[in-house]
Amino acid sequence: FDQRDGYIWFDGHLAPWADAKLHVLSHGLHYGGAVFEGERAYGGSVFKSSEHSARFRRSAEILDFTIPYSIEEIDAAKLLVLEKNGMKDAYVRPVAWRGSEMMAVAAQSATIHVAIAAWEWPSMFDMATKMKGIRLDIAEYRRPDPRTVPSLSKAAGLYMICTVSKHRAERRGYADALMLDWEGRVAECTGANVFFIRDGQIHTPLADCFLDGITRQTVIGLAKARGIEVIERRIMPEELDAFSECFLTGTAAEVTPVAEILGHHYTPGAITRSLIEDFNQVVQPGQGRSAAA
């Protein structure tokens, strides 16, 4: 992945892809002093770009560092990366990390670096394939108590349990893993939020110890605009059999129907389908701001 044609925005300049390197003694690598974003461009516009840039800056503040670029500068840098790489539909990855000036837990004077890359990550627009739904395992690791980790930060370090859980799920033949939280409630997947449907109502876990995804918020808005009730509450795994539909939301996942969670089966239906259609509409350039989301 590191030897490609193209450009990566690196500390304010465009660097050739293969030259966008950092030092091995970076704090971000040793102590997890790093935050990132995941975004998608559709037709040359980054969906909810400023919201992502604001979350990026907030994630860093929670880890006690400041990204040295404004929301406007970050938004502009993303567009420059897309333009310079000739991409209109792409996944966009900003990342910020503490540099190598201090090799210890404390890193007050380490330089804050920022890079923005973009690459093609096709969305699954084929509705028939999508509506078959994916299969989920249940992870061994749980989302930690928010008193023990900076849950609201999209901190790189929080993803180690996601990687381990995703690997285990794939080894066992599943696409991803549903993670419970520290209290045993249903939380989210390794990189996406989860929703359930029962009797025409949508139920989704309260985002109190995991990322309240920008796609999650968008889809809640779209459902409400359709007059569908959305209930955010504690959901226990014992309830998994009581739902008829299930889907995931996230920048990479968009709206992805789920067919099974470890033996609990779902049939993606009318509500899931209409939210996929609404989401596909709202991400198109020019639609993002005017829509209900």
Name the residue nearer to ligand PMP (CB basis): 28 or 213.
213
Count how many Cα atoms sit within 13 Å of the Cα of residue 31 in the half-sphere of its side chain: 16
| φ, ψ (nearest 5 deg) of residue 65 | -140, 160
**Strand (E) or helix (H) holding 26:** none
**CB-based contact 231:203 (threshold 8 Å):** yes
88 among known catalytic residues: no
- Single out the catalytic residue among 48, 78, 130, 154: 154
Residue type at position 11? D
Residue closer to ligand PMP by CB (options 214, 282) is: 214
Residue 19's CB is within 10 A of a number of other CB atoms, namely 10
Query: Of 213, 257, 268, 288, which lies in the binding site for ligand PMP, with binding defined by CB under 6 A?
Result: 213
State which residue has the least CB distance to ligand PMP. Answer: 213
For ligand PMP, which residue of 181, 188, 245, 278 counts as binding (CB under 6 A)?
A: 188
Does residue 216 belong to the site contacting ligand PMP (CB under 6 A)? yes
Q: Which residues contact 281 (CB under 8 A, 6 or more apart)?
A: 287, 291
Three-class secondary structure of residue 252 per DSSP: coil
Maximal CA-CA distance, the chain: 57
Site for ligand PMP in 144-163 (CB under 6 A): none
Q: What is the DSSP secondary-structure string of 110-122?
A: SPEEEEEEEE---
**CB closer to ligand PMP out of 111 and 182:** 182
Span interacting with ligand PMP, options 106-114, 126-134, 221-229, 248-256, rule CB under 6 A = 248-256
CB of 19 to ligand PMP, least distance (A): 27
191 binds ligand PMP (CB under 6 A): yes
Which residues contact ligand PMP (rule: CB under 6 A)?
38, 188, 191-193, 210-211, 213-216, 249-251
* Catalytic sites, residue numbers: 154
